Amino acid sequence: MVKKSKIQTPDWILKGKESPKVKKIGKLFKVRKCPKCKKDVRVAIGEIGVWECSKCKWKGKNPNEEELDEEEFMKYLDAKGEEVA
């Protein structure tokens, strides 16, 4: 049986690139979350600078920002179950 780690450092981190959704500040990663339900927000399509929450339909320009260190960030990615690319 091949043991595969679920938590992997995404390519863009290894290459020192930034994701449009996540900002890297030194050793911290800044992620944006919905101020209402604390879920991830995404850029609203067709609206510049506007974020929206797919869970509760919150929309606005100032989502909550959370700073995570690399370990916390990996857990965050793992919990999300999707790659931030």
CB nearer to Zn ion: give 13 or 51: 51
- Residue 50 C-beta: closest distance to Zn ion, Å: 14
- Residue 63 C-beta: closest distance to Zn ion, Å: 9
CB nearer to Zn ion: give 58 or 76: 58
13: left (phi over 0), alpha (psi -120 to 50) or beta: alpha
Query: Where do contacts with Zn ion occur on this chain (CB under 5 A)?
Result: 34, 36-37, 39, 53, 55-56, 58
Spatial separation of the C-alpha atoms in residues 38 and 35, rounded to whole Å: 6
3, burial (CB in 10 Å: exposed 0-12, middle 13-18, buried 19+): exposed
CB nearer to Zn ion: give 55 or 61: 55
